[in-house]
Amino acid sequence: MKKICTVVGARPQFIKLAVVSRVLRKEFREVLIHTGQHYDYNMSDVFFEEMDIPRPDYNLGISGGTHGQMTGQMLIKIEEVLMKEQPDMVLLFGDTNSTMAAAMAAVKLHIPVCHVEAGNRFGTLDSPEEVNRTVTDHVSAINLPCTESSLRFLEREGLGHTATVVGDPMYDAFRYYTERLDGGELTELTDFAGSPVTLPETFYYMTCHRQENTDTDEKLRGIFDAMEALDAPTIYPVHPRNHQRAERLQREHGYRNLILTAPVGYKTSISLVNHAKKVVTDSGGVQREAFFAGKSCVTVLDFVVWPETMKDHCNQLAKPDKADILEKLSASVTFDPAYQPFGDGHSAEKIVEKIKEFLA
């Protein structure tokens, strides 16, 4: 049986891994490498537990530091594992430092790379994710974009011959786990001290973790001011990196309509998406999940991540500014049930089939 080394390190990758690994292990021996990029229990371990993901064969424990420090340490450690395991292919998801480090380690050892979620482009190298995904695409033997728009970017860069649209494993996961929600996951919300949080009957759901939105009081206040002005409370699970600033701003400005919670697992998050009035986020994953759920979404970014979600204003960009966010949230939105650009919910099978074809 041929061997695949899969490298993950961050929350969105764990979600994709859950659905792909389930299919992959029927055909290949999978060796799972966790870089440790997301190390907090609520950002890592809980996903492996609740999504029945096999435990990593290697946990490299690498997190923190500058981009260069993190990526360099990962490259060294991943190379050591790949030299030991001698896999037939390295499987990668998305656009984290873990992704690029693994791609560089593999290609230098002449191990072919399969990149799932290839071809996304923001159009700016100011984004570290843009650098990671562009480098990874260009050294990968197989590029598997989720959508037709991502395929077109790859074709423009001369990579069309490496690429096949397979759909989005995030959509696979959303469908699979939404069918298995029972409401109990919504009782698991806690505050930073671990005390239970009672979920309001009606609420908005917000995720906000990107550095460009959370690195100053002014930007985060603009977002908080918008949520405070809404007609229902907002549930905001706070990323550990942003914990202190968010808590201090709530205390200093007396926000009563903003419910801060500890980070949540995947099932709780998609249940919150499914039950929310609307969604505000700066996450590429959550904006897709809002689209999958038919929920109006405002994305606090200045560049489009998933153009497919922007159709008919289902997802709109906003600045970290109260007036702009409220204006976008007030838009009337209608979802077209016939429009599903993210595949048929069977991308995992298609990914494994492309790997089988390449290694045959």
Q: Taking residues 246-274, what's their average pLDDT?
A: 95
**In terms of pLDDT, which residue wins out, 65 or 115?**
115
Please report which confidence band the pLDDT of residue 222 belongs to, taking 50, 70 and 90 as the band edges.
Answer: very high
pLDDT > 90: percent of the chain: 84
Which is catalytic among the residues 38, 209, 239, 275?
209
Query: What is the sign of the dihedral through the CA atoms of 38, 39, 42 and 44?
Result: positive
DSSP secondary structure of 240-302: GGGHHHHHHHHHHHT-SSEEEE----HHHHHHHHHH-S-EEE--HHHHHHHHHHT--EEEE-S
| DSSP assigned state of 238 | P
Least confident of 54-68, 101-115, 336-350: 54-68
| Cβ density class 172-208: b for 16+ within 10 Å, e for less | bbbeebbeeeeeebbebbbeeeeeebebeeebbbbbb
Q: Taking residues 344-355, what's their average pLDDT?
A: 97
- pLDDT tens for residues 304-334? 989 999 999 999 999 999 999 999 999 999 9
Q: What is the pLDDT of residue 239?
A: 87
C-alpha 323/C-alpha 353 separation (Å) is: 48
Tokens of 191: 């505050």
C-alpha 358/C-alpha 158 separation (Å) is: 19
User: Quick check: 272 pLDDT over 60?
Assistant: yes
Write down the pTM of the prediction: 0.91
**Cβ neighbour number for residue 84 with a 10 Å cutoff:** 10
Q: What is the pLDDT of residue 46?
A: 75
Q: What is the pLDDT of residue 11?
A: 84
110 — phi, psi (to 5°)?
65, 35
Q: Is 76:109 a contact under the CB 8 Å cutoff?
A: no
- pLDDT tens for residues 75-99? 999 999 999 999 999 999 999 999 9
Q: How many CA atoms lie within 13 A of 81 on its CB side?
A: 24
Q: What is the pLDDT of residue 270?
A: 96
Q: Is 1:29 a contact under the CB 8 Å cutoff?
A: yes
| CATH 3.40.50.2000 domain residues, the chain | 3-168+343-359, 184-329
Amino acid at 343: G
Q: Is 280:234 a contact under the CB 8 Å cutoff?
A: yes
User: Quick check: 119 pLDDT over 60?
Assistant: yes
CATH C-level class of 184-329: alpha beta
User: Quick check: 38 pLDDT over 70?
Assistant: no
Q: Is 313:327 a contact under the CB 8 Å cutoff?
A: no
CATH C-level class of 3-168+343-359: alpha beta
C-alpha 326/C-alpha 34 separation (Å) is: 39
Q: Is 115 a catalytic residue?
A: no
User: Quick check: 40 pLDDT over 60?
Assistant: no
